[in-house]
Amino acid sequence: MDDLLDMVEGAPMLSYDDAKRSVSKRILVEDGQVTAVRLIGETLAAD
């Protein structure tokens, strides 16, 4: 998934990983704009 979104090592992104809760979040920012968001395992905001 990350490769498809160009979220590779060295890319300008914010990332958060919580292995205990199996949650991973990434936001890719290029030229001051959010260009991709990837959320895995986060269910708290589902409702």
Task: Give the C-alpha separation, 5 to 12, whole Å.
Answer: 12
Q: Please name the residues in contact with 13: beta carbons below 8 A apart, sequence gap of 6 or more.
A: 7, 26, 27, 28, 29
**Domain ranges, residue 1:** 1-47
Neighbouring CB atoms inside 10 A of 16's CB total: 11
| Total structural domains within the chain | 1
- What pLDDT is stored for residue 9 in this prediction? 86
- What pLDDT is stored for residue 29 in this prediction? 94
- What pLDDT is stored for residue 36 in this prediction? 92
Digit-by-digit pLDDT tens for the chain (47 residues) are 888 888 888 889 999 999 998 999 999 999 999 999 998 897 876 77
- What pLDDT is stored for residue 35 in this prediction? 93
**Which of 47, 10, 28 has the alpha carbon at shortest distance from 39?**
28
Token pair, residue 17, equals 């990983």
Q: What angle do CA 30, 36, 39 make, to 5 degrees?
A: 135
